[in-house]
Each structure stands twice: as C-alpha cells, then as structure tokens.
C-alpha cells in the first residue's frame, strides 16, 4: 500500500509540473512590503508559508 501511495504522489508531481523557488525570511524583513526575495524578504516564517504554493514547499 505504501508503494502505491508513493507512485501516485510521484505521478501527481509530474503531472502538475512542480516548480520550486527560493524564498527568504529575515528578522529585518517585512510581511507588509516584502516579496520573499533575497533583497526584500518576508519577516515571519508563518507569513511565508501562507504565501508559498503547496507544491513549492519543502520540509
């Protein structure tokens, strides 16, 4: 059953065309004006997670 779930997950990833990017968070960033880039990071991880699509997240 576990192998079946892994295969289904891999197929879903291939079909959806996952694209990952780098997102930045810093203590001197801003959740108001930040865009998640290295030059304009967000301030909190929770804000970043709420603005990054599910397919771009990694743990």
Q: Please tell me the distance from the alpha carbon of residue 24 to that of residue 17, in angstroms, as a whole number.
A: 23
End-to-end CA distance of the chain: 23
For 2-45, the pLDDT digits (tens) are: 777 776 666 665 554 445 678 889 989 999 999 999 999 999 98
Domains of the chain: which residue ranges? 20-59
Query: Tens digits of per-residue pLDDT, 31-42?
Result: 999 999 999 999
CB atoms within 10 A of CB 31: 15
Q: Name the pTM for this structure.
A: 0.58
Token reading at 9: 């997950």
């Amino acid at each position: 059953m576990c192998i079946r779930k892994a295969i289904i997950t891999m197929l879903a990833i291939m079909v959806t065309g996952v694209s990952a990017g780098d997102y930045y968070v810093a203590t001197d960033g801003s959740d108001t004006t930040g865009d998640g880039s290295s030059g304009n990071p967000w301030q909190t991880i929770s804000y970043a997670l709420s603005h990054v699509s599910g397919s771009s997240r990694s743990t």
